[in-house]
Amino acid sequence: MLLNLAQKTVDHFASTHKKTDYFKDVYENGNNEGTSSKMSIGLFISIILWVILVLIIGKLLWNKVMCELFSFCKPMPNVLYLLGLIILLDIIRPSMM
């Protein structure tokens, strides 16, 4: 639901198509038929930036916090190790959406 709203918002402001009163139609009438379900470029770029941000912050937290608190942790050389760890944990325990 939130992803759909973000997608429609980005599509509305980034599109060069004919401008309609989309928000009034959706929020007042509840009518969202005929809207495209494809992912917009803006949403795709924001998801990629979010993943990169999570990987960089996760690496910093791993190296600065985990390695200092627990002696059995070794520093992570690059973010691909963290990406692999996230994918492994998602395979082991998938989130229920």
Domain-wise residue ranges, the chain: 1-38, 40-97
Alpha-carbon gap, residue 23 to 39, rounded angstroms: 18
Q: pLDDT digit string (tens) for 15-65?
A: 654 445 555 555 555 555 555 556 688 888 898 999 999 999 999 999 999
Report which secondary-structure segment, H or E, holds 64.
none
Contacts 24+ apart (CB under 8 A), 65-74: none
Torsion sign across C-alpha atoms 71, 72, 74, 76: negative
pTM: 0.56
Q: CA-to-CA distance for 30 and 65, rounded, in angstroms?
A: 47
> What pLDDT shows up at residue 27?
58
